[in-house]
Amino acid sequence: MNIDLKGRTALVTGATGQLGRVMARTLAACGADIIIHYHKNETKAAELQQEIQALGSKATIVQADITDEKSVLNMQRIAYENFNSVDVIVANAVSQYKWKTILEQAPEDYLDQFESCVMQSVLLFKAFVPRMIDNQYGRVIGINTECAMQNFPTQSAYVAGKRGMDGLYRILAKEVGEHQITVNQIAPGWTISEQDRLAHSEVQPEHSKNVPLRRRGTDQEVSNAVAFLASDLASYITGVYLPVAGGNVMPTI
């Protein structure tokens, strides 16, 4: 048994980011063609396109502001000019800001997180889910966070955006399930990425001592979960919030 995504096309937003690029490579290694979304880093997008093509998959680059409807619709147009369908959506893009206490956090930071977490997903759904319905097939995967369960001080804007996103995905799962479209979320913990490896900061004992697996997860482990949920191996899994966090958070029944 293996993960086979041949014949599928996956859109990864924020594909030039630390996690996004590994997700894109992993989906391509499973046989999927990739739509590489980027906001500002065109150079990294071009490098990633070459890597994916070297794996034998097709890859198209598209620039978009995922919080702007016109920009997302332009991304839709480019996607359908290059591929017959978008079978897998991975909503990975997120904006960065400095975390502060609620009393110190600027109101615009809450709006920013709402737009990047909630509105990104709404716009992607409206742009790409209708054709999934026509095809009676689709995989929608949102990248959430363990923080949505932790609710630690200074996380408020991020958690507010991700918790709003969580409700949206659960509702979409119920609305489109009859069309054999699955809608799930992956919630990474504090993940080791390329920047950690370059800085030799992978090992964080104070953090890991409280994680049941006693270590941080890797970008590849998160991407493996994305590939699984994107595949037909996960055809009867929908509405799930799946932590890839070494047991650091555990959803309850």
| Identified catalytic residue from 158, 169, 236, 241 | 158
Tell me which residue of 173, 201, 191 sits closest to 244, measured CA to CA: 191
Phi, psi values for residue 39, rounded to 5°: -100, -50
List CB contacts of 4: < 8 A, sequence separation 6 or more. Answer: 30, 31, 231, 232
Count of other CB atoms within 10 angstroms of residue 168 = 19
List CB contacts of 219: < 8 A, sequence separation 6 or more. Answer: 18, 19, 22, 191, 192, 193, 194
- Report the C-alpha gap between 80 and 59 in whole angstroms: 13
**C-beta separation of 72 from 66 below 8 A:** yes
158 catalytic? Reply is yes
The beta strand positions in the chain, using DSSP E, are 9-12, 33-38, 59-63, 88-91, 138-143, 181-188, 191-192, 217-218, 241-244
- Report the C-alpha gap between 130 and 161 in whole angstroms: 25
Active site residues: 158
